[in-house]
Amino acid sequence: MGILDYFITPRGLIEYDPDEFDNARKVDGSVLIDVRTHTEYSHGHIEGSVLVPLNSLKERLHSLEKDRIYLLVCATGHRSRAAAAIMLRNDFNKIAHLKGGMAAWRKNGNKISK
């Protein structure tokens, strides 16, 4: 993973605003992955999300089914973009992320779980 992965949207990544992301996470079979740290996650996360910190994502890829829909979230959208780049390079092809991350989610007034 390179520094540009945090800033350049990889080809194939779908970017959702908070309302679109909220609808997408309700689709059967979708998996919501939060790539923030344990501490960030414990201070509030989207209900139903699974914590897979970005620094451990590569090691966890083998346990993920490639044909599922993955929705990625982080604090501002940079780490989820980088996570998407990793997943897309490893033959996952149904990847979306929350543009603006948890900051956008909160600003939109969406529910936070603790």
Instruction: Provide the annotated active-site residues.
Output: 74
Q: Please tell me the distance from the alpha carbon of residue 34 to that of residue 52, in angstroms, as a whole number.
A: 6
Q: Judge whether 29 and 71 are in contact, CB under 8 Å.
A: no
Closest CA to 60 of 73, 74, 50, 47: 50
Tokens of 56: 């451990």
Place of tokens 């194939």: 12
